[in-house]
Amino acid sequence: MMSFYIPLMAISPFEERYKTEMNAIFDEEAKLRKWMAVEVALAKAHARLGAIPRDAPGKIEIAARNVTLERVQEIEAEIHHDLMAMVRALTEHAGDAGRYVHLGATSYDIEDTATALIFTEAIGLLGKRMEALGKVLKKLALDHKETVCIGRTHGQHAVPTTYGMKFALYYQELKRDTARLEEARKRIAVGKMSGAVGTMATFGKDGPKIQSLVMDELKIKPAPITNQVVQRDRHAEAIFSLALIAALLEKMCKEVRNLQRSELLEVSESFSAKQVGSSTMPQKRNPHKSERVCSLARLLRANVQIAMENISLEHERDLTNSANERAIFGESFVCVDYMLLETTKILSGLVFYPDNIKRNLELTKGLIMSERLMITLVERGMGRQDAHELVRTLAQEAFSKGRHLKDLVLEGKVLPKADAERVFDYSSYIGSAVKIVEDAVKD
């Protein structure tokens, strides 16, 4: 029979196309090292309490440096248990200290504690990404605090605002997301060393001391109570925090996409000299990077549902969380890390089109200043409702006849010319926008 060699190909785009520095935190090699770090910490705790020889932890720690992922996978192929495969490989290299590897622990004492270490490291990396994005948003906010543009509500022209307001708004939301992620980090940075159902029975009276010593060694906190696992509300909160970050990134990128529409074209993604927008329409300059961010946000939100369903495990635990967590944990962190990097690049290279911004401000021929006209009439003594009705009538006439609202105001002698000129100067109708922006991005 003829055999064919089939090269190993990546199935997940997060292994190649969307790969980031985050991959190294979640890959199998990193997970193995974290598992063994917990095993070493457990051995040190036993030794401190006099349960095993004082030199055993050192031997186990040296052994951990010599264990290879290949050997662990080889053992797993035989016994079909990944954690025990690590235990056996570590025991092989530990010599006479091998008898003390994994003493009194259950698999998820090791796995969940290691997951806390992994999540903590991953959140630390995201913190750096968010800080970098914050700097870009702050610069854009301050650079464009006086760049007047049309504000849109319900997809319609409303009143003038500034681009600085947009970016300062995002900056503040990013700060909230950063705070939420830090809160999630505090709650996920816990481990357990409590045995099969959380009673610590295998450690006898020293159970609480063992757990405390292990977590002190690993610089995380012990969970106050567990069953066989650390409760999954902690993990769900972390994934939800990632989804909130993704939602903000989607919000910003959706705004770029909309403002890059041919009819608007106030801003756009940068477009390199050799970049191709379409395989059939050579003129296209698609906002494909922003679209990609929006697409990935949907994936991250879907993972939240899975994380939520993992909370309600049966009795002291079942295994229904295990398989999907192998996918959603690493995938979610790599996904949001890629999105943060991509959004930071998009906003750093954002192109502004001042002529189009001005054109869109003037598109409705003064109708966007109806609010200011009404307020001015009230200030001059007219009742608020009467002023509203007068301006509404004039605005309807201007719209239906395609005329500028200011011309109707002057023809009807509603305001003197000097006052009318002031009212229809959109650049001077941004209220406290500049101060709002400056205050919003203060550190």
- Per-residue H/E/C for the chain: CCCCCCCCCCCCHHHCCCCCCCHHHHCHHHHHHHHHHHHHHHHHHHHHCCCCCCCHHHHHHHHHHHCCHHHHHHHHHHHCCHHHHHHHHHHHHCHHHHHHCCCCCCHHHHHHHHHHHHHHHHHHHHHHHHHHHHHHHHHHHHHCCCCEEEEEECCEEEEEEEHHHHHHHHHHHHHHHHHHHHHHHHHHCEECCCCCCCCCHHHHHHHHHHHHHHHHHHCCEECCCCCCCCCCHHHHHHHHHHHHHHHHHHHHHHHHHHHCCCCCCCEECCCCCCCCCCCCCCCCCCCHHHHHHHHHHHHHHHHHHHHHHCCCCCCCCCCCCHHHHHHHHHHHHHHHHHHHHHHHHHHHCCEECHHHHHHHHCCCCCHHHHHHHHHHHHHCCCCHHHHHHHHHHHHHHHHHHCCCHHHHHHHCCCCCHHHHHHHCCHHHCCCCHHHHHHHHCCC
Which of 249, 251, 254, 234 has its CA nearest to residue 123? 234
Identify the CATH number of the domain in which residue 180 sits. 1.20.200.10
Among 410, 426, 430, residue whose Cα is nearest residue 418: 410
Assess whether 263 and 378 both reside in one domain: no
Confidence band (pLDDT; 50, 70, 90) for 358?
very high
With 90 as the cut, is the pLDDT of residue 275 above it? Answer: no
> In which band, very low, low, confident or very high, does the pLDDT at 26 lie, cut at 50, 70 and 90?
very high
Q: What pLDDT, in 10s, does the model give residues 206-254? A: 999 999 999 999 999 999 999 999 999 999 999 999 999 999 999 999 9
Residues 127 and 93 in one domain: no
Distance (Å, whole) CA 165 – CA 146: 9
CA distance linking residue 420 with residue 183, whole number of Å: 53
- Same domain (yes/no): 383, 253: no
Q: In which domain, by residue range, is 75 found?
A: 22-100
Where does a domain end: 302, 328, 358? 358
Number of structural domains, the chain? Answer: 3
Establish if 156 belongs to a structural domain: yes
Whether residue 148 is found in the same domain as residue 242 = yes
Bridge partners (DSSP) of residue 158 are: none
In a domain, 273, yes or no: no
The per-residue pLDDT for 286 is 81
Q: Using CA atoms, how far apart are residues 348 and 102, in angstroms rounded to an integer?
A: 50
Reply yes or no on whether 80 is catalytic. Answer: no
Residues 293 and 257 in one domain: yes
Q: Looking at the structure, tell me whether residues 79 and 141 fall in a common domain.
A: no
Q: Which of 335, 358, 381 is the last residue of a domain?
A: 358
Percent of the chain with pLDDT over 90: 92
**Does residue 371 sit within a domain?**
yes
In terms of domains, do 354 and 378 share one? no
404 a catalytic residue:
no
d(CA 247, CA 368): 30
User: Beta strands 267-268 and 351-352: pairing type?
Assistant: antiparallel
Looking at the fold, whether 241 and 300 belong to one and the same domain comes out as yes
- Would residue 409 count as lying in a domain? yes
Q: Is 256 exposed, middle or buried (0-12, 13-18, 19+ CB in 10 A)?
A: buried
Rounded to 10°, the helix 28-48/69-79 angle is: 90
Q: 53 vs 281, which has greater pLDDT?
A: 53
What residues contact 215, with CB distance under 8 A and at least 6 apart?
113, 190, 191, 193, 221, 222
Q: Give per-residue pLDDT as tens, 395-436.
A: 999 999 999 999 999 999 999 999 999 999 999 999 999 999
Q: Is residue 403 part of a domain?
A: yes
Question: What number of other Cβ atoms are within 10 A of residue 399's Cβ?
Answer: 13
CATH number for the domain spanning 374: value is 1.10.40
Catalytic residue among 3, 80, 154, 262: 154
Q: Do 177 and 138 sit in the same domain of this protein? A: yes
Q: Whole-angstrom Cα distance, residue 434 to residue 312? A: 49
Residue 87 belongs to a domain with what CATH number? 1.10.275.10
| 67 and 181 inside one domain | no
The reported pLDDT for the residue numbered 3 is: 46
Boundary residue ending a domain (301, 336, 358): 358
Catalytic residue selected from 278, 295, 312, 427: 278
Residue 139 lies in a domain: yes
Residues 89 and 152 in one domain: no
pLDDT in tens, 155-201: 999 999 999 999 999 999 999 999 999 999 999 999 999 999 999 99
In which band, very low, low, confident or very high, does the pLDDT at 272 lie, cut at 50, 70 and 90?
A: low
**CB-hemisphere CA count at 13 Å for 191?**
35
Do 401 and 352 share a structural domain?
A: no
The whole-number pLDDT of residue 287 equals 86
In a domain, 45, yes or no: yes
pLDDT of residue 10: 72
Domain assignment present for residue 105? The answer is no
Per-residue model confidence as pLDDT tens digits over 96-154: 999 999 999 999 999 999 999 999 999 999 999 999 999 999 999 999 999 999 999 99
